[in-house]
């Protein structure tokens, strides 16, 4: 928590950044949408004419939704992995 750790929640402090958490989450969602909607499909051979002007938004939102749905499973797996019995 930037504002608590750095600016001690003093709104007059030089390093206090208002709404930093909102900006960070918005940046992550926008980056994911652009990556999953434009970069990843083009890298995998999808025609640019198929994606533009508007289908990239649908593709990006679908990819973002899939990532959000998969996230709890990845977190749960990461927590359980150290306790898994490994067979040699």
Domain total of the chain? 1
Q: What number of helices (H) and strands (E) belong to the chain?
A: 5, 0
pTM for this predicted structure:
0.66
For residue 64, the tally of other CB atoms under 10 A from its CB is: 17
Q: Tokens representing 21?
A: 């958490």
- Whether 2 maps to a domain, the answer reads no
Parent domain of 70: 18-83
Q: What is the pLDDT of residues 14-56, one digit of tens each?
A: 777 777 788 888 999 999 999 999 999 999 999 999 988 899 9
- Whether 10 maps to a domain, the answer reads no
- Whether 38 maps to a domain, the answer reads yes
Please provide residue 52's backbone torsions phi and psi, each rounded to the nearest 5 degrees. Answer: -100, 145
- Whether 1 maps to a domain, the answer reads no
- Whether 48 maps to a domain, the answer reads yes
Instruction: For the chain, give the percent of residues with pLDDT over 90.
Output: 55
- Whether 53 maps to a domain, the answer reads yes
Residues in the chain, total: 88
């Amino acid at each position: 928590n930037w504002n608590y750790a750095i600016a001690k929640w003093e709104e007059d402090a030089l390093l206090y950044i208002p709404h930093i958490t909102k900006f960070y989450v918005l940046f992550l969602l926008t980056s994911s949408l652009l990556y999953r909607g434009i970069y990843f499909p083009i890298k995998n051979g999808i025609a640019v004419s198929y994606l533009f002007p508007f289908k990239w938004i649908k593709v990006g939102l679908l990819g973002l939704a899939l990532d959000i749905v998969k996230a709890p499973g990845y977190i749960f797996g990461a927590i359980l992995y150290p306790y898994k019995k490994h067979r040699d």
